[in-house]
Amino acid sequence: MERDNKIVLNKAGEFSLSWDGIGRVNIKLDDTYKGHVCGLLGNADDNPDDDLMELTADGLKLTTNTDEFAKSWEIPDSCPSK
């Protein structure tokens, strides 16, 4: 659905996503997912201090290095080389 240059997607009982048409994206997960997800958007447990969980060969590791955090979630061969 598009509203005033804003795109909104709702999946009842799961999530809602809105994009302002410029660059801001807002994602809201259903409460049943709190603490049960991980990735670039954090873990949805309402604690921003533990959102930067880097994906490693040994599992998840809390980090403060945002570049390494982002790279750890990259899907191999999904981004064109520069």
**Residues 28 and 57 placed together within one structural domain of the fold:** no
Q: Cα–Cα distance between 81 and 69 in angstroms, integer? A: 19
CA–CA separation, 29 and 5 (whole Å): 22
For residue 12, give Cα distances in angstroms to 31, 38, 48, 58.
Answer: 12, 20, 25, 34
Q: Is the pLDDT of residue 82 over 70?
A: no
Q: Are residues 2 and 27 located together in one domain of the fold?
A: yes
> pTM for this structure?
0.65
Rounded to whole angstroms, the Cα distance separating 80 from 47 reads: 34
Give domain status of residue 38, yes or no.
Answer: no
- Condensed to tens digits (0 to 9), the pLDDT of residues 8-66 reads 999 999 999 999 988 899 999 999 998 899 999 899 988 999 999 999 999 999 999 99
Count of structural domains within the chain: 2
CB count within 10 Å of CB 20 equals: 12
**Domain membership of residue 8 as a residue range:** 1-33
